[in-house]
Structures are given as structure tokens and as C-alpha cells.
Amino acid sequence: MLTLLDIEYSPDNQEKMTRLMTGGGCIIATIIILLIVVAVVRKKYFFRQEEETNAPAGFGLSELKELHAQGLLTDEEFNAAKSKIVATSHAAFMAPKKKTAQNIK
């Protein structure tokens, strides 16, 4: 049985080694591509919910302050909207956390 170190140089052996190296390189490249695809899919799957919950769901306090300063909101409207935003933020902060990819480790 010949090992890689025992192979004598000949055009036939060189062709076999070239095919072996090419095939091995293709397998390694395929594995790397598959790992990249898996990483991208995992990132999109696990972090989709997190991105959706962080998306703004309407006006924030800064937008309300601007509308109030421009006179487009009365004091009562501003205070009512501000109370809703604060209550929603407080409820979201106090809610139990969902499992994400970072928490699973």
C-alpha cells in the first residue's frame, strides 16, 4: 500500500493527485458555502422577532414634543399620548423576555 509520501513522480500519479486535490478543494468550498448559508438563515430566523419588536409602532416622545411645540397638539392631547407611550414602554420592559439566539447559548 502506497502512502502519499511513497508515491513516485510520474505523469499518471500527478494526474491522480491533481484530481484528488481538485475534488478535495470542491468539497471544502461546498462545506464553507453551506456554513455561510446556515449562518445567514439562522440570523434571519432568530432575530426576525427581535427586529419586529424594536420597530417603532407610531409616534415617540420626541415626535409628540415637536407636534406640541408646533401647536398641532393641545396640552391634553400631548399628556394623554405621552401617558400611553410611557405605559406601553413600561409594559414592554416588564414583560418576560422571549428566547433569542443570544439567550440560547
Digit-coded pLDDT (tens) for 10-32: 777 778 888 888 988 999 999 99
Strands (E), the chain: none
Asked whether the whole model's pTM tops 0.75, one would answer no
Q: Which amino acid is at 24?
A: G
State yes or no: pLDDT of 83 exceeds 70: yes
Report yes or no: 59 and 85 within 8 Å, Cβ to Cβ: yes
Strands (E), 3-102: none
Calpha distance 100→44 (Å, rounded): 11
Q: Which amino acid is at 25?
A: G
81 three-class SS: helix
Helix (H) or strand (E) holding 61: helix 61-69
State yes or no: pLDDT of 103 exceeds 60: no
Q: What number of CA atoms fall less than 13 Å from residue 39's CA on the CB side?
A: 6
Domain positions in the chain are: 14-55, 56-96
